[in-house]
């Protein structure tokens, strides 16, 4: 086996090979002609070597925020990531969160029926849960971004800086669905912080660093590349959205930490991994910085919850077997399958059967990508939408709006003397459709909370009450009056996710 194939022996480096040739030249230069040939050969070799050395010495003079590129020679590779880490690491923090959960000794207390009849029996036993994560300082006055699952329901949050200073923190904006939270530290001085980079300009193959506190061992830096863009879907729990994928090792405790480029700019917040063992397998996901920036903007504006624009539409990805029939040369985009009458897309002229291909110049291939692009644009803005209709490309400016609250929801809770005490009802409107994730065609009176008696009768949140004892109900007031009637039996016709069913129970 040759040395190159075995991997145990290495071929001489090009520079070493050159000097080996010079030594053999000295041995054979026994006459004037030989000496002149040797000197000419040496001159040809030394000139490029001198130029290469000069180029290597000039590398540190490149501006810190120059365009990202692959290192050109060993001198650049030898620099490593140390300068970037020194600049970035002070802005990455460790977060310690504590939450207290009350539990009962009696297992029957998990049933709403037993809680209603037997009251507060069973000794409450508080349990303390601790969680560890990471965070990123994004402004000198103490704005920190982390994952929601790191601090969700926490009663005490402590933030520890790289220099071991500790600060208490309060949550000023959190969103479980996006798995992002914004914290505020009360600090007496300017803190080191990171700048956000436009995540739409990130490319597959870019070198990146992941910084956080995995397993509580202390701040750790790992390196990798961007492995993929536009990763969407459900990853863990309620988290949905659009992610950057990286092979930089991410482990428990890295959640909420920084994913930065080679210039030290933040391009994402590390969130989760795909793993069967719980350790890193080289498939990690980060929330793009553009969405992080929108979160910080809403937090500074005083929003109590994160607001997403309402599309008022449902859609599906265009697969290969659908593309030709829709007039597309290649599969891609989102097929509009349903539109609410109040949808801003309908107001801009889109119809069922159109294929949305771009939002604000960026391609979209799934509903999650569309929601991400709309969320980045923000409520109150206007998004430039490109779509295909019968093989022709068209464009429209779509207003990014909140879900309308018309007709009035008229939410009410039934009193104790009604047939189902504690049952909460409301009239369906776009705001409720968005809040409860209902089909766009939902109309009528909806159950917003079944209460203990309603749960025992078989009702669930999101059920639409169509009839009570055969009488149709169209408003929450009419449903409340119908449920005040007392008799021996009650029959309710209900729609659950569009499927009809009948509930019959004895009073």
For this structure, is 141 an active site residue? no
Bridging pattern class, strands 489-496 and 464-468: antiparallel
Cβ neighbours of 353 (radius 10 Å): 12
Distance in angstroms (rounded) separating the CA atoms of residues 438 and 435: 8
For this structure, is 179 an active site residue? yes
Residue 216 is classified by DSSP as: G
Give me 247's structure tokens.
């092979």
Task: Find the catalytic residue in 255, 272, 280, 476.
Answer: 255
Cβ neighbours of 402 (radius 10 Å): 14
The answer to whether the Cα torsion of 277, 280, 285, 289 is positive or negative is positive
Task: Find the catalytic residue in 131, 134, 149, 175.
Answer: 149
For this structure, is 418 an active site residue? no
Distance in angstroms (rounded) separating the CA atoms of residues 309 and 299: 16
User: What are the contacts of 481-490 at 24+ separation with CB within 8 A?
Assistant: 483/414, 483/418, 483/419, 483/420, 483/423, 484/417, 484/418, 484/419, 485/419, 486/419, 490/419
390: left (phi over 0), alpha (psi -120 to 50) or beta: left
Residue 333 is classified by DSSP as: S
Cβ neighbours of 359 (radius 10 Å): 23
Following DSSP, what letter does each residue of 47-90 receive, concatenated?
Answer: HHHHHHHHHHHHGGGS-TTPPP----SHHHHHHTTHHHHHHHGG
Task: Find the catalytic residue in 175, 179, 463, 493.
Answer: 179
Phi, psi of 338, rounded to the nearest 5 degrees: -160, 145
Nearest alpha carbon to residue 306 among 92, 77, 417, 145:
145
Please give the positions annotated as active site.
149, 179, 255
């Amino acid at each position: 086996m040759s040395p190159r194939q075995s991997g145990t022996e290495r071929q001489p480096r090009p520079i070493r090979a050159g000097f080996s040739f010079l030594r053999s030249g000295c041995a054979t230069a026994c006459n004037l002609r030989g000496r002149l040939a040797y000197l000419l050969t040496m001159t040809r070799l030394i000139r490029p070597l001198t130029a290469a050395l000069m180029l290597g010495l000039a590398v540190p003079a490149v501006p810190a925020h120059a365009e990202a590129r692959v290192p050109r020679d060993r001198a650049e590779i030898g620099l490593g990531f140390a300068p970037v880490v020194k600049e970035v690491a002070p802005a990455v923090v460790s977060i310690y969160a504590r939450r207290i959960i009350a539990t009962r000794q009696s297992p029957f207390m998990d049933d709403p029926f037993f809680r209603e009849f037997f009251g507060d029996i069973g000794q409450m036993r508080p349990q303390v849960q601790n969680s560890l994560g990471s965070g990123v300082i994004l402004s000198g006055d103490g704005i920190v971004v982390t994952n929601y699952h790191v601090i969700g329901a926490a009663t005490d949050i402590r933030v520890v800086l790289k220099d071991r200073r500790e600060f208490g923190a309060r949550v000023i904006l959190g969103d479980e669905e996006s798995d992002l939270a914004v914290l505020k530290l009360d600090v007496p001085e300017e803190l080191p912080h990171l700048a956000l980079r436009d995540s739409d300009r990130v490319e597959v193959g870019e070198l990146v660093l992941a910084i956080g506190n995995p397993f509580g061992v202390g701040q750790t830096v790992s390196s990798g590349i961007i492995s993929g863009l536009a990763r969407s879907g459900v990853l863990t729990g309620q988290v949905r959205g659009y992610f950057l994928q990286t092979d930089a090792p991410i482990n428990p405790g890295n959640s909420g930490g920084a994913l930065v480029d080679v210039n030290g700019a933040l391009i994402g917040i590390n969130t989760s991994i795909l793993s069967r063992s719980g350790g890193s397998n080289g498939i990690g996901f980060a929330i793009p910085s553009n969405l992080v920036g929108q979160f910080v903007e809403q937090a500074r504006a005083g929003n109590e919850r994160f607001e997403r624009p309402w599309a008022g539409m449902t859609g599906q990805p265009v697969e290969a077997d659908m593309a030709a029939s829709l007039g597309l040369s290649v599969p891609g985009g989102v097929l509009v399958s349903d539109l609410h009458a109040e949808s801003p897309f309908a107001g801009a002229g889109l119809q069922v059967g159109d294929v949305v291909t771009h939002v604000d110049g960026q391609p979209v291939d799934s509903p999650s990508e569309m929601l991400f692009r709309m969320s980045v644009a923000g409520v109150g803005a206007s998004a430039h939408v490109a779509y295909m209709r019968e093989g022709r490309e068209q464009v429209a400016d779509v207003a990014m709006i909140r879900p309308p609250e018309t007709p009035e929801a008229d939410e009410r809770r039934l009193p104790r003397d009604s047939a189902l005490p504690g049952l909460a009802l409301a009239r369906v409107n776009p705001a409720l459709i968005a809040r409860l994730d209902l089909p766009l065609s939902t109309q009528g009176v909806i159950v917003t909370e079944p209460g203990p008696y309603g749960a025992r009768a078989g009702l669930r949140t999101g059920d639409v009450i169509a009839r009570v004892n055969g009488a149709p109900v169209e408003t929450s007031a009419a449903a409340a009056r119908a449920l005040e009637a007392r008799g021996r039996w009650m029959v309710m016709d209900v729609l659950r996710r569009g499927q009809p069913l009948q509930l019959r129970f004895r009073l």
